[in-house]
Structure 1
Amino acid sequence: MTDRGRDALKTTADRFDVGPSSMSWTGNELVIDIDEVSSFPLISRVRGQITITPHALSSVELPLTPDGAHIWRPFAPSSDIKVDLEAKGWQWSGHGYFDANFGTRSLEEDFSFWTWGRYPTATGATCIYDAVRRDGSTLDTAIAFDADGNAQIVDAPPRTTFKRSLWQVRRETRADAGILPRQVLNMLDAPFYSRSAVRTQLNGEVVTGVHEALDLNRFRSPIIKSMLATRVPRRAVWP
């Protein structure tokens, strides 16, 4: 990841360029072309292509705050994905998804903590969005998507804490009574953020999906911000 200035950004109805990388919509697939350099401690070229083929597209938008300043948009909650990077062992295909967050304020202004999870199910996928806002209110939402991308708010079991990340970020997700969620694959571990594959049980169905926990109290710390700058370099000018 590299923070880039306005000169590096271009967008049309079906293409978004950020410096040397881009995302293009063909009408059936989202094609992501990557040409980047990884950060410390292993600096290397990251090149290749990721192709996401949605099973269906969703028009759902979930406001994360009452005033709509933050929006979650699950464009393709259930998809096929193909990864082809120019490195040995970095080619695979499988099950994936595509979503995005939009906002008019920084996350740390309005949230202190959130967890999110997307779990493939027998009928589609269930997404869990739980958050604690700065004003003390909470977001507690579970959305089930079917194979056609249709969505409905559903009841989900209560929040259940499980083992903290390596950086001791607090983690929780939903789980049936007596079930303890557990990490089955670590994907990203940072002082303020954890992303992993987590196995849990929702309404009797054992599911394994992508889970994230975000501690925005930590993220807003000047110390963490300075650490993050070494991992996400800034390039203000792009020819």
Structure 2
Amino acid sequence: MGPRFDAEVPPGGYTWWYVDAISDDGQHALTIIAFIGSVFSPYYKRSGRGDPLNHCSLNVALYGPEARWVMTERPRGSVTREASSLVIGPSRVEWTGDALHIHIEERDTRLFNPVHRPVRGVVKVHPEALNPTSFALDHDERHIWHCLAPRARIEVEMERPGLSWTGKGYFDHNRGSEPLEDGFRVWHWSRAHTKRGALVCYEGERRDGSLFASAIRFDREGVAEDAELPPIARLERSKWRVERSARSEISVARVRRTWEDTPFYARSELSSHLDGEEVVAVQESLDMRRFASPIVQFMLPYRMPRLRK
């Protein structure tokens, strides 16, 4: 039931593995995403998306004290895949059979950044239970979401910057056979741990104008079931004016921290009310219309550089 890193990615397609976590003391948080056929890559888009393996990256974002952000795209010659491991440049992701180990060896090489600070360390993700069921996000099943571990324990041991913490996390996988902007205009996603297990809400507008919205509850054993969709809780727009939306049983949620704020994407930490209790949720909003705009495509290389080898 664990991740497989050697599955075929078709031309035009993508696959990514996503981890987020918040420290037990609430001071730190992180997201890590391993991309093949990087969906937000201006280089992959410009190339015609014929070779997903030629556009891979490990995005590491550390939030809180000693914050860091890295995402360097690498070509296929720097990528090695096996069933249980994925190597992207000097970094690697490994599934041990019961845990995900992420060995980070990156450097902040964003353009016009004079100090290329290293980001080095190990993050271990220990799922409390694994979910075997994946879900299609569109009628033709071109976009698939698989919540591998709705609940997990996280161990963070960073050498650069010097950080050590434990916390609660989440681990999922997305894959698709066409570009993300061909399938969707906007989407909103959120996840929260509850006493019963976890609740994930997914909603948005597809490219054809149809709407989708669902809530999925995971019990402590990782078993998924449809849940009643809570009412919409409108959130303040991000500084880049990205529209954010979440779900709450009392129709109210509050942004505790904005983790990511870009022209087409926002990721936030929320206070909300789900499954009859106050919860801390992680939420993201994505606008693929903005992503596809010429001005955003012009800006992206400054944020995510690409190495030739």
TM over 0.5: yes
Partner of 2:128: 55
From 256, 260, 278, the counterpart of 1:206 = 278
Contact 2:119–2:161, Cα closer than 8 Å, also in 1: no
| Aligned: 1:17 with 2:87 | yes
**CA distance, structure 2, for counterparts of residue 104 and residue 235 of structure 1:** 25
1:184 counterpart (256, 276, 285): 256
Q: Distance in 1 between matches of 2:169 and 2:102?
A: 14
**How far does residue 203 in structure 1 lie from its aligned partner after superposition?**
4.5
Kindly provide the CA deviation profile for residues 204-232 of structure 1, in whole angstroms up to 9, marking residues without a partner as x.
32211111011111111121112111111
Gaps of 5+ in 2: 1-70
Is 1:233 aligned to residue 300 of structure 2?
no
Equivalence for 2:291: 219
State whether residues 120 and 161 of structure 2, in contact with CA within 8 Å, keep that contact through their aligned partners in structure 1: no
Secondary structure of 1:183's aligned partner = strand
Residue 89 of structure 1: how far off its partner (Å):
5.2
The match for 2:240 among 153, 162, 167 is 167
Picking from 96, 103, 116, the partner of 1:33 is 103
Give the deviation of 1:123 after TM superposition.
1.0
Per the TM alignment, residue 88 of structure 1 is displaced from its structure 2 partner at its CA by: 4.6
Runs of 4 or more off by more than 6 Å in structure 1? none
| CA RMSD in angstroms, aligned pairs only | 1.4
Cα distance change on mapping 1:33 and 1:88 into 2, 3 Å: closer
Q: How far has the Cα of 1:43 moved from its partner?
A: 3.0
* Aligned ranges 1:38-187 → 2 under 5 Å: 38=108, 39=110, 41=113, 43-88=116-161, 90-177=163-250, 179-187=251-259
User: What is the TM-score with the length of structure 1 in the denominator?
Assistant: 0.94
**1:100-127 deviations in whole A, cap 9, x for unaligned?**
2101111111111101001110111100
Structure 1 unaligned regions, length at least 5: none
Instruction: Measure, in 2, the Cα distance between the counterparts of 1:88 and 1:232.
Output: 20
How many residues are matched? 236
Contact 1:156 1:202 in 2 (8 A): no
Instruction: Among all aligned residue pairs of Structure 1 and Structure 2, give the percentage whose two residues are the same amino acid.
Output: 40
TM-score (norm 2): 0.74
